[in-house]
Amino acid sequence: MNKSHLGITHSNTKLLLNFSGEFTLYTVSKYQKQLDALGLSKIEYVEINLYNVLFLDTTAALFLNALITSLQSKNIQVSLLCNNEDISETLELVAKQKKHTSKIPHAKEVSTVEALGKVVYGNYLGFLSFMGFLGELFSKYTHSLISISNLRYKEVAFELNESGIKALWIVALTSFLIGLVVAYQSAFQLKLYGANIFIVDMLGISVLRELSPLITAIVIAGRSGSAFTAQIGAMKITQELDAMRTMGFDPYIFLVLPRIIALMIALPLLIFVSDMMGILGGMVVAYADLDITPELFLERFSNVIAAKHFFIGLLKGPFFAFLIATIGIYRGLMVKDDTQSIGFNTTKSVVESIFAVIICDAFFSIAFTNLGI
């Protein structure tokens, strides 16, 4: 590699700058330090000699143009000597293409109306995308249900174990504690009026009809819904989904449907366990704080709590499970080609699933109330 060098000859009012070798980005800083050390107060004429320069890149050309402009602004006469056509053309090209900006433009301020419009339009496009996903999902779902042999039992059983059996303990513990807390807070008020026995009525209806389905769905949304998003998102980043399509396997049949079917089977079973644990938690508080024996509690429970409350809670399970699974899988398919997108979509999956479950529960409550159920 040819060595670069800057020779400086200083005599009275004349300064000679003799560049040699390769004049590139890596030599500009060194030359700048040499020039900064010079005193140009008495200089009237500067000669820049490029005869011995073998190569010059655009950074060096910018440096020379800036140097010439700076010298001329100080009323110093500048002479540029160059016999290499390539170097001369580079200098001319950089001088023509260089843009002079006197003011940096400020970012355009977005009005409130415009910002709101962008948010609404973005949500509208997201809704259309989700509807398209549901349309394709239902077409595959209908095709699979035409014949039972189309179902992939092994994958459904595996997802049933992952989403249902492994979530059993966290659902049971959460429901037990919720029943404990609700019963304890209610017991304090009921004792004031001597209505201890009515804790059975309140606890039975609230747990069976509302609390157990809702708490179970929220736990599963945070556990299984986020897992669906992370798993499918990681498969998309590693191009496993593309590989499946290349080999002729439909990701909807092998990945999407087994998860949805498994969760729709598992959630009603988990709600049943949640019901039992929530009632057990309330029974513990009733015995410890209100002196209501388990026998009296169960007798009152069987007399005043209609079976419809239990079945209404179970009925909500498949609907909640469908919302959680579809939103989780959809968010997984929306993951971009970076790991940050997995975290973003996983967070949105959990939030949107919980929101959808609460909205669905509200519709159920309104519908059952108007039907007198």
* pTM for the full predicted model: 0.69
Distance of alpha carbon 287 from alpha carbon 304, whole angstroms: 19
pLDDT for position 361? 92
Query: Per-domain residue ranges for the chain?
Result: 5-97, 106-149, 151-371
Residue-level pLDDT, tens digit, the chain, 373 residues: 457 788 888 777 888 888 888 888 888 888 888 888 777 777 888 888 888 888 888 888 888 888 888 888 888 888 888 888 888 888 888 877 765 555 666 667 778 888 889 889 988 998 898 888 888 888 777 776 676 666 778 888 888 998 888 999 999 999 999 999 988 888 888 887 878 888 888 888 899 988 999 999 999 999 999 999 998 988 888 888 888 888 888 788 888 888 988 999 999 999 999 999 999 999 998 888 888 888 998 999 888 888 898 999 999 999 999 999 999 999 988 888 777 888 889 999 999 999 999 999 999 989 988 888 8
pLDDT for position 185? 87
CATH architecture of 5-97: 2-Layer Sandwich (3.30)
pLDDT for position 1? 47
pLDDT for position 238? 86
